[in-house]
A and B are shown apart, each in its own frame.
Chain A
Amino acid sequence: MEQVFLKYIDDPNQHKIDTYIEHGGYQAIQKVFKEYQPTEVIDTVKASGVRGRGGAGFPAGLKWSFVPQNTGKPIYLACNGDESEPGTCKDRVIMENNPHLIIEGIMICCYAINAHHAFIYIRGEFAHPAARVEAAINEAYAKGYLGKNIFGTGFDLDIIVHTGGGAYICGEETSLLSSIEGSRGNARIRPPFPAVEGLYKCPTVINNVETLSSLPSIFNNGVEWYRSHGTEKSPGTKIFSLSGNVNKPGNYEVDLGTPLSYVINDLGGGIQNGHKLKAIIPGGSSTPLLMPDQIDTPLDYEAVAEAGSMLGSGAIIVIDERSCMVWVLMKLINFYAHESCGRCTPCREGTAWLKQLINRIENGDGQPGDIELILDVCDNIMGRTICPLGDAAVMPVRSFIQHFRDEFEYHIEHKKCKVETDYPFV
């Protein structure tokens, strides 16, 4: 399969600018400067159908077209490399192996939306990936690819790396902007949408690392080539982070629409040590479960939605027969309770209650009626918060109970797991 992001994953020098150029890098941006007007870039990206790879899958070109060009204010681009959805580790591999691909993508986007300042927001724990990206930016400045009058075009662009402080919420676009501005990472009410009033109250586009990294390939090879990968509505390739109970976890880049079973069995070497598959989280920890009989679901936005879940960030977490689902859900809800920013009451209080209830079931202190209470708390979070973190916490809870209610009931009644195993304490 043809690859865009990980094509040179085995080249230890790919992060260096000379190697990147040897491999055809910085050709797309020069072509764009020579042959395209900014509006034509937006039209091309729209025609390519590339969708946001951060989780929501929103068409990138359409997002850019919302930016007003007549406000007299500067326009900003924020590249989202906060990557904190459990299971997701795809942007990190691009930052480490192919940082110039991100920079070139940022250049294309900035030219299209007329931005001269871009920020790359990288989660604080990624000290080394951030250093890689910063080194790459410095190389690009030294070559005259960033700064003033790039390639003699008169176009100026500065890129700043902004590292976070360990907050999942800062991957949410408005929280990310609050964080760049120096505030606590609280989400903001929309409207106004960031495209109109974002960073420093100026029009701002926020795109994921992987989304921006898709752009050079579109301009190097053409829209038709790009659309020859993936499906009609979900074109292109995508990196899937495969983790959990598989023999070969890893980051795998495949065409969208590739069957889930191909990623798990052919690339991932099947379920760990020949165990039986129990459930799959297909798109990061917040996405509802897929069951073993859905393993052939094509990995594109529409097909996964039709199967009752979401493609999300493409983080596939595989769970085999050894796990008690109450225990797995406890791990997830502890995360959401910890990461709720605390601004909206339903999320702050609700995730804390869900954590308490699920932990007490796991610990053998569950009471009759706890499952109903959990679902009631879910109802009071869903759709009642400023940002999607509350919904993200509710979706797995509802899904786990829907598919494995028997395990929760057993846990409450018998004060222990229905699954008879010492796993993971082996």
Chain B
Amino acid sequence: MILKESTIKEIKTRMERYPSRRSAILPALTAAYRQVGHLDNAVYKEISRVIEIPYVEIAEAATFYTMFPKHEVGKYLIQVCHNISCSLRGADNMLIYMQEKLGIKMGETTDDNLFTLISVECLGGCSAAPMMQINQDYYEDLSREKIDTIFADLRAKAEEEGK
């Protein structure tokens, strides 16, 4: 089993509140994504068993929603906004800097499997641009110095957790 007991419980708790079982698809995808870090066929199959909706309907819905990576990503998924408000405040520069700093190109994952770097459309942090999301957290008013600190902190955190 991929999904943990706690994830399955969360999915079931949420499902019970809706007037229709189908409505639990998106909450289930969200819960699974937060636990696993990405979604794929194996995950859809488990969700299908939990909420008793055909697998194909889970996959059909999941493939519409771009927030969930559909393949394995690093421990930290860095999503940098490249839309207008962030671009006007230097998002392109931040992206170049992050690629240099991590030694990877857009869409790639670092060798230690810690960071995956992608750019995404507007995240609703426009008045604190440029900004990015790493896993569930927003990091705003980015600068090179701030990026250095954020990456260093995350590396330290990962090391701590690895012990």
A residues contacting B by CB (< 8 A) are 74, 83-89, 92, 117, 123-128, 158, 160, 162-168, 179-185, 200, 241-245, 249-251, 281, 285, 315, 317-319, 323, 328, 331-332, 334-335, 338-339, 341, 424-426
Enumerate 19 A-B pairs (CB-CB under 8 Å) in ascending A order: A86-B121, A92-B124, A124-B65, A124-B67, A125-B123, A163-B27, A165-B29, A165-B67, A166-B65, A167-B66, A180-B26, A243-B85, A245-B89, A249-B127, A332-B83, A332-B84, A334-B121, A424-B89, A425-B92
When distances are taken between beta carbons in the complex, the residues of chain B under 8 Å from A339 are 121
Q: In which size bucket is the chain B interface?
A: 35 or more
CB neighbours of A89 from chain B (8 A): 124-128
Contacts of B84 in A (CB 8 A): 86-87, 244, 281, 285, 317, 328, 331-332, 335
Nearest CB in chain B: distance from A245 CB, A: 6
Cβ contact within 8 Å between B19 and A200: yes
Name the B residues within 8 Å of A338 (CB-CB).
66, 121
Contact residues in B for A88 (Cβ distance below 8 Å):
124, 126
User: Residue on A with the closest CB to B141?
Assistant: A249
What number of residue pairs across chains A and B have CB atoms under 8 A from each other?
163
Interface residues of B (CB under 8 A from A): 17-20, 22-27, 29-30, 53, 57, 60-62, 64-68, 82-85, 87-93, 96, 120-129, 133, 136-138
* Chain B residues whose C-beta falls within 8 Å of the C-beta of A162 in the assembled complex: 23, 26-27
What's the nearest-Cβ distance from chain A to residue B57, in Å? Answer: 8
Can you list the 7 inter-chain pairs with the closest CB atoms, starting with the nearest? Answer: A165-B65, A166-B67, A182-B22, A184-B64, A243-B85, A182-B25, A127-B136
- Please judge, given known A-B contacts A86-B121, A124-B30, whether A184 and B61 are in contact too, CB under 8 Å: yes
Contact, CB under 8 Å: B126 / A241: yes
- Closest CB-CB distance, B1 to chain A, in whole Å? 23
Across the interface, name the chain B residue whose C-beta is closest to A165.
B65
Closest residue on chain A to residue B68 by CB atoms: A165
